Amino acid sequence: MANYRFDNPDGIYFVTFAVVDWVDVFTRSAYADIILESLRYCQEAKGLEIFAWCIMSNHVHLIIRRQGAFTLSDIMRDFKKYTAKKIIESIETLPESRLEWMLHRFSWAGKHNSNNTNYQFWQQDNHPEELYTEGFTKQKLQYLHENPVKAGIVDEPHYYNYSSAKDYYANQKSKLSISFL
């Protein structure tokens, strides 16, 4: 599948993946915390190295590479499959005022994609972009951290709790361990 292609197995990549129909799922911390839990697992068990990250209301940005035997394609596939299942389960069990509407959106998307049986949570692609140059890397790092500012959520990147901006701009620890670029 071209949308999961990481042509350089040892490259550092900027990836973005979004919820189907851009549904604002991650406005609830319970769902964003599932993303964090899964990323931590991928770091510990699958050799995912995270350089930067940001969880927005309906999409996630990462700057990553693999260390070890697992490919980035395998890690991202497993990550998206696991988080989709866990988030759908949480939507069904936690108090959620948007439950029927959200499940309807995910069910509709799932029925219109032969790769799914019931629901589709994530859009199919990751938009992987290898970070070849220092300038391109800085551009993507700034873009990732400025996303919450441009969305009007915070005034400064390091005020946003669901990103690595604290690590880069405030000399504080964010919710995930990272390697610096």
2-53 per-position pLDDT tens digit: 445 788 989 999 999 999 999 999 999 999 999 999 999 999 999 999 999 9
Quick one: pLDDT at residue 4?
Answer: 54
Quick one: pLDDT at residue 117?
Answer: 72
- Is residue 128 situated within a structural domain? yes
- Is residue 122 situated within a structural domain? yes
| Measured distance CA(154)–CA(34) in Å, rounded | 22
Asked if pLDDT for residue 72 goes beyond 80, the answer is: yes
Percentage of residues of the chain with pLDDT beyond 90: 87
The answer for residues whose C-beta is within 8 angstroms of residue 120's C-beta and 6 or more apart is 20, 84, 106, 109, 110, 113
What CATH number has the domain bearing residue 127? 3.30.70.1290
| Measured distance CA(91)–CA(100) in Å, rounded | 9
Asked if pLDDT for residue 1 goes beyond 50, the answer is: no
- Is residue 176 situated within a structural domain? no
- Is residue 39 situated within a structural domain? yes
Q: Which domain holds residue 113?
A: 2-133
| Measured distance CA(16)–CA(92) in Å, rounded | 26
- Is residue 10 situated within a structural domain? yes
Whether the Cβ atoms of residue 145 and residue 54 lie closer than 8 Å to each other: yes
- Is residue 143 situated within a structural domain? no
- Is residue 56 situated within a structural domain? yes
- Is residue 100 situated within a structural domain? yes
Total structural domains in the chain? 1
